[in-house]
Amino acid sequence: MRAMRWVLLGLVLLLGWLQYRLWFGIGSAGEVAALEAQVEHQGRENGGLKERNAALAAEVRDLKEGVAAVEERARSELGMIKPGELFYRVVEDPARRASAPDPDAMGDANAGEAD
């Protein structure tokens, strides 16, 4: 009878120790949940980076193979034009801009008259 009590006590202590390890020890349930959340976050981040890499690879391929992308970049970033083209630059007269009424101010002034 006495031996059975010691065995039972040993089993209860073993169960307590295993429960402690399950909830608070290394590799506990909380730690596993945190790691799963971290893996999910990293997966989302990797997906976004894969999309960005695919877009960059497509742009590199287009720049290597196509002339249109190079021409577009030269026009927009460097202001280049083709031989035989005419370049027109429209510049607004600063004096005219200063004397022109502000459309927002007109809307506010007309709103007062409508009342």
Specify the pTM.
0.41
Q: What tokens does 2 get?
A: 């006495």
Please state, as a whole number, how many other Cβ atoms lie within 10 Å of the Cβ of residue 10: 10
Structurally, the chain folds into a number of domains equal to 1
pLDDT band at 12 (very low <50, low <70, confident <90, very high): very high
Question: Domain span at residue 73?
Answer: 2-114
> What would the pLDDT profile of 15-67 be if each residue is shown by its tens digit?
998 888 877 878 778 888 889 999 999 999 999 999 999 999 998 888 788 78
Query: Which percentage of the chain shows pLDDT scores above 90?
Result: 28
Contact 59, 51 (CB under 8 A): no
CA distance 6 to 88: 99
Q: How far are the Cα atoms of 2, 7, 31, 32, 102 from residue 16, in angstroms, in the given order?
A: 21, 14, 19, 20, 79
What phi and psi, each to the nearest 5 degrees, are found at residue 92?
-80, 140
- Residue-level pLDDT at 26: 80
